[in-house]
A and B are shown apart, each in its own frame.
Chain A
Amino acid sequence: AQTVTQSQPEMSVQEAETVTLSCTYDTSESDYYLFWYKQPPSRQMILVIRQEAYKQQNATENRFSVNFQKAAKSFSLKISDSQLGDAAMYFCAYLEDSGGSNYKLTFGKGTLLTVNP
């Protein structure tokens, strides 16, 4: 079974600074997708960024960017110019085609990000 590992249970960053959240995954597939979701205290899961495994270019969404290393099976999230509203639990997720018409999204355990003013 595919696994997603987030080795940092908690991270903190000063407002306006940059922070990087780590994620590694295990798979034997060559075609898959990777995501970062954030979950603030409201518990709503919000998509931050998405990366297709076949693309070598790292995905970027405004202040959020990833460092995708396919050979190393690493997918880290960099948040630049951190804002108080970035404080949340961040989940790394892996999407595989689990067969037939079903698609399984596997999550890491999450990293709790605190932003200090």
Chain B
Amino acid sequence: SAVISQKPSRDICQRGTSLTIQCQVDSQVTMMFWYRQQPGQSLTLIATANQGSEATYESGFVIDKFPISRPNLTFSTLTVSNMSPEDSSIYLCSVSTSGFTDTQYFGPGTRLTVL
């Protein structure tokens, strides 16, 4: 499995500001995904980040709020824009090295608190 790191591991932010979360993988991967885990809840897919094409967002998530970049096969960023306390969550990236049949492996997550 790939080794995945995320930065920052945690942050406390003021409402109205933006935070960019980085996800770095130690090998090239086909697919990268971003999930949100609200307090005490399960994981919800925000979007799929594809290298060389725009991210695909799930229902309820929009690019203006959660812009995503995927400049190469080992790196992606998720920005949480114009934050409100409702954005306080753990944000996790995951990767799969090939396609549909591959298992998704997760990064350690970023714990975001918005005051």
Contacts and interface: CB of A to CB of B under 8 A. Distances in A.
Interface of A: 33, 35, 37, 42-47, 50, 52, 91, 95, 97, 100-110
Interface residues of B, number: 27
Nearest to A104: B45
Contact of B90 (A43, A52, A108): A43
A110 B33 contact: no
Interface stretch (B11-19, B20-28, B65-73, B99-107): B99-107
Q: Is the interface of B mostly helix, strand, loop or mixed?
A: strand
A47 B105 CA distance: 7
Contacts, number: 56
A91 B43 contact: yes
A47 B103 contact: yes
B78 interface: no
24 contacts: A33-B103, A35-B103, A43-B109, A43-B111, A44-B108, A45-B92, A45-B94, A47-B1, A47-B103, A47-B105, A52-B101, A95-B100, A97-B100, A100-B56, A101-B31, A102-B48, A103-B31, A104-B45, A105-B43, A105-B104, A106-B45, A107-B43, A108-B42, A110-B42
